[in-house]
């Protein structure tokens, strides 16, 4: 089992100076990584990651997650290789199938069936591996020789079958988690479930029982790779309170769970700092989760939870996923 890692998911940027200060605060608070999403209306991920790496010393950066349908694999390979170089080999690449139909429609991209989107995700992974393994274009050979141009390729040789940066894949459905178990270095067991009969992107929080089953399923798919995978989840909500039951009663309907299920789920933290730290430690034992991400608005309270977890667990601060 890997050491604990903790990360924050960026939702917006202001000025260059303010963003740099925010990234340094994330690093100083004990986080190991900063992630950027891939949605319309939020900052483009790769410039955010380069800026974050330049503002910090050890913070790893990554995508959580790229919508594979938005990207041509050849152009994405160029973005990944460039970003890995400009961040000094601190990049982690998260890929997903996409789930917000309105984003596809707004971008003029065909909204295909889930199966087709999953197929495209797996094809993207395999094509990126091929492109990272053979990055040189014969058509550029003369220009490279004339100008001494280096071949553009990832700095890291860890993920994508040893050809690129660490690969994150996550989701809730069988197909995506099977792809994750087969290919990913970091498997993210997601905690947001599509509500049946509601528009795509209408979610509820997953229960502890669902988390148990999803982890078992993905471990079976991973087979002998299981012990070499870092198991990750995105905590959807953090509620600091002295009264867990009362806070859960208020939040239960909004999050789509009963009070009892909400208090038990690993995808929501509720309670005092000590109680939330205990939830993290329990999730490590029960599910094998060692990497937890929170959204940026929860950064400050979660930083105190991190400190408590590390004081209790006595696990060293880490800066990269296990090999």
Q: What residue has token string 């993905």?
A: 218
Of 262, 269, 201, nearest to 236 by C-alpha is: 269
Q: 322 pLDDT exceeds 80? A: no
Averaged pLDDT, 188-196? 89
Which residues make beta-bridge pairs with 271? Answer: 240
How many Cα atoms sit within 13 Å of 107 on the Cβ side? 17
Averaged pLDDT, 5-20? 96
What digits encode the pLDDT tens for the residues 85-121? 999 999 999 999 998 999 999 999 999 999 999 999 9
What digits encode the pLDDT tens for the residues 255-309? 989 999 999 999 999 999 999 999 999 999 999 999 999 999 999 999 999 999 9
What digits encode the pLDDT tens for the residues 27-72? 999 999 999 999 999 999 999 999 999 999 999 999 999 999 999 9
Per DSSP, the residues of 30-78 read: T--EEEE---TTS--HHHHHHHHHHH-SS-EEEES-EEGGG--HHHHHH
Phi–psi pair at 122, nearest 5 degrees: -65, -40
Contact 91, 156 (CB under 8 A): yes
Per DSSP, the residues of 147-174 read: HTPPP---S--SBTTTTBS-EEEEESSH
pLDDT for res 320: 65
Using alpha carbons only, what angle is made at residue 238 by residues 233 and 244, rounded to the nearest 5 degrees?
120
Q: What is the pTM of this model?
A: 0.94
Percentage of the residues of the chain whose pLDDT score is greater than 90: 90
Which 3 state secondary structure label does DSSP give 294? Answer: strand
Torsion angle of C-alpha atoms 185, 188, 194, 196, degrees rounded to 10 = 80
How do the domains of the chain map onto residue ranges?
A: 5-232+288-295
Domain 5-232+288-295 has CATH 3.30.70.260: no
Of 315, 253, 308, 311, nearest to 279 by C-alpha is: 308
pLDDT for res 113: 95
Q: What residue has token string 């040189």?
A: 136
Of 74, 72, 63, nearest to 130 by C-alpha is: 74
Q: 318 pLDDT exceeds 60? A: no
Contact 254, 282 (CB under 8 A): no
Mean pLDDT of the chain: 95
Instruction: Tell how far CA 102 is from the center of its chain.
Output: 22
């Amino acid at each position: 089992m890997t050491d604990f890692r903790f990360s924050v998911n960026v939702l917006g940027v202001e000025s260059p100076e303010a963003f740099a200060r925010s990234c340094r605060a994330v690093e100083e608070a004990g986080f190991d990584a900063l992630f950027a999403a891939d949605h319309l209306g939020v900052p483009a991920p790769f410039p955010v990651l380069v800026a974050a790496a330049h503002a910090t010393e050890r913070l790893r950066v990554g995508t959580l997650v790229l919508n594979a349908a938005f990207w041509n694999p050849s152009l994405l390979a160029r973005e990944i290789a460039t970003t890995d170089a400009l961040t000094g080999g601190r990049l982690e690449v998260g890929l997903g199938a996409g789930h917000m139909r309105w984003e596809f429609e707004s971008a003029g991209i065909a909204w295909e069936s889930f199966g087709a989107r999953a197929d495209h995700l797996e094809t993207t992974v395999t094509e990126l591996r091929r492109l990272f393994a053979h990055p040189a274009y014969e058509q550029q050979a003369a220009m490279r020789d004339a100008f001494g141009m280096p071949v553009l390729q990832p700095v890291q040789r860890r993920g994508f079958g040893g050809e690129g940066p660490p690969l994150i894949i996550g989701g809730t459905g069988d197909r995506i988690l099977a792809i994750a178990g087969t290919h990913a270095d970091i498997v993210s067991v997601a905690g947001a479930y599509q509500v049946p009969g509601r528009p795509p992107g209408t979610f509820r929080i997953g229960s502890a029982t669902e988390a148990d089953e999803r982890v078992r399923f993905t471990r079976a798919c991973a087979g002998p790779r299981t012990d070499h995978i870092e198991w990750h989840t995105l905590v959807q909500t953090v509620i600091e309170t002295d009264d867990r039951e009362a806070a859960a009663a208020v939040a239960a309907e909004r999050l789509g769970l009963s009070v009892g299920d909400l208090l038990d789920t690993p995808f929501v933290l509720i309670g005092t700092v000590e109680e939330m730290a205990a939830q993290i430690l329990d999730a490590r034992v029960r599910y094998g989760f060692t990497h937890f991400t929170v959204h940026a608005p929860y950064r400050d309270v979660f930083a105190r939870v991190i400190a408590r977890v590390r004081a209790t667990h006595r696990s060293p601060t880490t800066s990269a996923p296990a090999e």
